[in-house]
Chain A
Amino acid sequence: MGRLVTAEFRKVLTTNLWWALLIPTAVVAVVWSWVGSLLTTTVVDAMSQSTVLRRFGVDLGEQSWSVLFFARTINISAIFPMIFGALALSSEITRRTVTTSYLTAPNRGSLLGAKLITYAAWGAAYGVVVSGFASLGILLGSHPQQLPDATGWLLMAFAGVLSCLLWTLLGVGVGALLGNSIAALLSLLIYTLLVENLIGLWLPQHWPGVLINGSADGLPGVLASQLLNDQLDTVQQIRLLPDSSRQVITDGIQGLAGARGAFDWWASGLIFAGWAAVFVVAGWLVSRTRDIT
């Protein structure tokens, strides 16, 4: 297996795709989080100035609002590692290099296994870039007092790495399942950007959280909204609100973090990991007997 992993790393490093996708990943991450946190800061500033809140003496300027767009940035930027993973096996089939790859591997399962190990590492590396550039973006766009503390930042960065890693593996699975680059890319992009958003609208509370995007978004999204809600709870006037009103605030913030209807962050992570596993296993089963003609 070590031999095949070395070969997979060489395959990636001797072609341009990894950096051709890494550049837009970094750009999207920094722009999205910068613009997003600038927007959030502006809105929060405006709210803090509002007469209603001022009359009650509520101070909303000191919470780490920036994590909301940290989460949203992770969700949007993860498209690139997903594409990267989707091409792992499917582009080999489309380009017919898979013939040689299969001829030099003990069996097809071990080749897919080596790809999963390799692409998990690459997915994590994309995640590090996403979390890094998202941090830069919120640093540029937020007031310093609205940045997360060290623990909050570490948790968000971890969510970014994990999310990108899982998206990459899910992509590898879908690519292996469909066996065609174009088909894999189109179905993944259309589903994640369009289809699930449409069906998510019609589903009742919590249903979106079991879907692919819903659970994936829940990992950083719910984490961010929990960080923020914990801080809002320290605001006395909010703590004294009736439960139903507080629930409205909690749900609203989770929606702002892009994770409407998601379960707890760790549960979302597990559900999403389950989806990735389903596609990897399906891809393995289908690619085991696929005719390479």
Chain B
Amino acid sequence: MSKIHVSTSINGDAVEYLCEPEETLLDVLRNRVGLTGAKEGCGSGDCGACSVALDGRLVCSCLVLAAEAEGKTVSTVEGIAEGENLHVLQQKLLDHAALQCGICTPGILIASKALLEKNPDPTETEVRYWLAGNLCRCTGYDKIIRAVMDAAAEMRGA
């Protein structure tokens, strides 16, 4: 079968790739584009480790075909920091020790960034519901929630 040619924009850079029709966006990001930030925890939409923003909308990249990214913009965790400067959310996850193995962290970052863009002043309950599709086997969630609340407060102040 001939491969599909896809032109897309990833973290602001024009990117082209060839993919198989059955490949997911997650497969292509990791195996063809070399962006290994998004992780595969389950491959079935349950864990959120593969979260990316597709045309600004939070999605699981394991549930998107790579061919669907044609003409779209994709944002991954690699685009969150500005050069050497960590994003507030990244800094707060570190400050609150809100990660251990780090597998869930890229997904948590992308998902909470999407939340704060939509709702800069979320309640704790809103944060917990928004992140319900981001599983973490290490932290017990509390530190993550506190880090996101703290980042939201700092970003509102800034």
Does chain A bind chain B?
A: no
Residues of A within 8 A of B (CB): none
Residues of B within 8 A of A (CB): none
